Amino acid sequence: MASSSIEKERRPTRVLDGSRVAVEIKREVAETVTLLNRVYGVSPRLAVVRIGDDQASEVYVRNKVRTSAEVGIMSEHFALPATTTIDELLNLITSLNNREEVDGILVQLPLPGGMDSARVLEAIDPAKDVDGFHPINVGRLAQGQLALVPCTPAGIIELLVREGIEIEGARACVVGRSHIVGRPVAALLLQRNATVTICHSFTRDLSSATSQADILIAAIGRPAFIRGSHIKPGAIVVDVGMNKVTDEGAARALFNREEVERRVETIRKRGYTLIGDVHPAEASEVAGALTPVPGGVGPLTVAMLMRNTVDACRCRRGLEEGKGRK
């Protein structure tokens, strides 16, 4: 019998649809907001602060404000000029801390050059820290206590759980050790009893670590850095990266033939297409499941911000289930 007749065909790589899961989460948040208003007469409120005229930050903030309206969360947008001093910003944060009706405070990063982001983030009331960046929330997460958790890591866990991915007992590898994604997602995986390895730019023989992982999370900020040789056959791959590709030739080398023409057309129309930290064509030949870019992790971040705002509202007011998230 020919070997081809006895070898099992490899199953197509499953797409982990973050956009679909984000819609589910936002629907649940909207239902909760309606319940809070009807039963307790409470409307969660989010304050978003943006400094300067960075175009990417403007787009992110506009998306957050629009999504707040979609789910029924009241929002306020403070667009401050680039000339704003740190004392002026801290005074605004203090006033928002003191306003009882404000449940969540978000200061859009990055801040203008020279402004101490750590000092700014530490000024936010931890109970209103819906980004989950305050040292108190970071410490609570590290100790396995209830806390407001950074939105992207929380969204990754939601995606894995809702897609039926077994975390308990799995070998997980996180490539990237940032305070925004890498470290908190590692802590969340540990809480769910995964065996976790964190890799970074100083890791020797990276592929020896990543290729053992049942769950591989790439959050290193380098386009197409994770190649097929880094991935264990059948592994779950979560691509957190968001990078622009402007060259058509580069796009043809990165995407498989089913995808490449659409991506090239996007470059011609928009000037760029988006790619993550994982080489999409190579990963699709090896991984068992893979998040797309765009449409994977990105939509979950805003959805989890909405849920954090509702959780902060409940917790601050001592309402049902208002005790934060793990």
Q: Which residues are catalytic?
A: 64, 108, 131
Identity of the residue numbered 59: V
Q: Tell me the CA end-to-end span of the chain in Å, nearest whole number.
A: 53
Pairing of the two strands 171-175 and 195-199: parallel
From residue 131, give the alpha-carbon distance in Å to each of 92, 112, 162, 219, 322. Answer: 17, 19, 22, 18, 17
Radius of gyration of the chain (CA): 21
Largest distance between two CA atoms of the chain: 78
8 A C-beta contact, residue 49 and residue 108 = yes
Nearest C-alpha neighbor of 90 from the set 119, 113, 61: 119
CB atoms closer than 10 angstroms to residue 321: 11
